Amino acid sequence: MVQQLSSNVSRTIQTKLVLPPDTNHMGTIFGGTVLSYIDEIAAISAMKHSGKVVVTASIDNVNFLSSAKVGDILILEGFVISTGRTSMEVYVKVECQNLETGNRTLNTTSILTMVANDKDGKPTPVPSVIPETEEEISFFENAPLRKERRLLYKNVNQ
């Protein structure tokens, strides 16, 4: 029997302060810095779900919706939204909070695919995920479409 785990097992939240070295000449955070944060939280979420070391297999999309400035706080949230045999899709949302006003804006969203590895670096099976909230159920139900898109894109680029 395949083990099943709630999305809450993988849910991870991190906060980061935007500092001057994180920003470009316009005073906003580098996209690459945000990407590294996204990759890190996706890996942590996938490791919590699988109990294994993981590698990033793909990043489906990254939507930069707003910018963050020095002094802003980034709130990152990641959780596993679907699984394959050895892979896990992880949704990551990044919000930007202005310290003075407390206002939050959606900064970035992304979906990544992480693959669990055993001690020899070989892909290893992962538990399936049980979606619980409306958002999680929606992501879960649309997983086959995302997988089809990834496979189509992979085949076109070979």
Joined together, the tokens standing for residue 10 give: 């993988």
Q: Which domain holds residue 134?
A: 4-156
**Residues forming beta bridges with residue 110, ordered by sequence position:** 62, 92
Model confidence pLDDT, tens digit, residues 51-94 = 999 999 999 889 899 999 999 999 999 999 999 999 999 999 99
CA 95 to chain centre: 13
The mean-pLDDT minimum among 58-62, 101-105, 111-115 falls in: 58-62
Domain count, the chain: 1
* CATH number of the domain to which 97 belongs: 3.10.129.10
pLDDT at 115 exceeding the cut of 70? yes
CA 122 to chain centre: 22
Please state, in angstroms and rounded to a whole number, the distance separating the CA atoms of residues 21 and 85: 40
Indicate the pLDDT class of residue 149, thresholds 50, 70 and 90. Answer: confident
Q: How far is CA 140 from CA 10, 37, 58, 143, in A?
A: 14, 23, 18, 5
